[in-house]
Amino acid sequence: MALAFHTALYIDCVRHGPLPAGEFLLAVAEAFMRLMPLCPLLSVLIGASFLVVAQVCETLNLPTAWLNWPIYYCTLYGPCAFVYVNVKLSVKAAASTKKFLPV
């Protein structure tokens, strides 16, 4: 799964211009380093926010089973989405600055 994730991210980033593998791996490493201290905190905050939503649903006598999938996907795939978006933005910003600088 990790290989498929990084391959899809690389293909998506290459659309903005040529991207050496070293620069891509550096951008991925930087995004992971930004994520590492935030991941436990974000997971707890996401879980706590869904706990509040579940309490509101129980107060209103609404079913809470529909919350299982959003909790699952936000907690497990949220960090991957964070890395994907950060790498994509940094590669896009680097590609836009390279267009205006002489080579």
- At 50-85, the pLDDT tens digits run 899 999 999 999 998 888 888 888 878 888 888 999
pLDDT tens digits for range 1-45: 788 888 888 898 888 778 888 888 898 999 999 888 888 888 888
CA distances from 7 to 24, 40, 59, 66, 84 (A): 11, 26, 45, 32, 11
Q: Which two tokens stand for residue 97?
A: 């600055």
So where are the chain's domains?
20-97
Distance CA 52, CA 18 (A): 45
- Residue 53: per-residue pLDDT: 92
pTM for this prediction: 0.71
The tokens 């497990």 sit on which residue? 76
Per the model's pLDDT, the better-predicted residue between 65 and 101 turns out to be 65
How far is CA 42 from each of CA 32, 39, 74, 75, rounded to the nearest angstrom?
14, 5, 10, 8
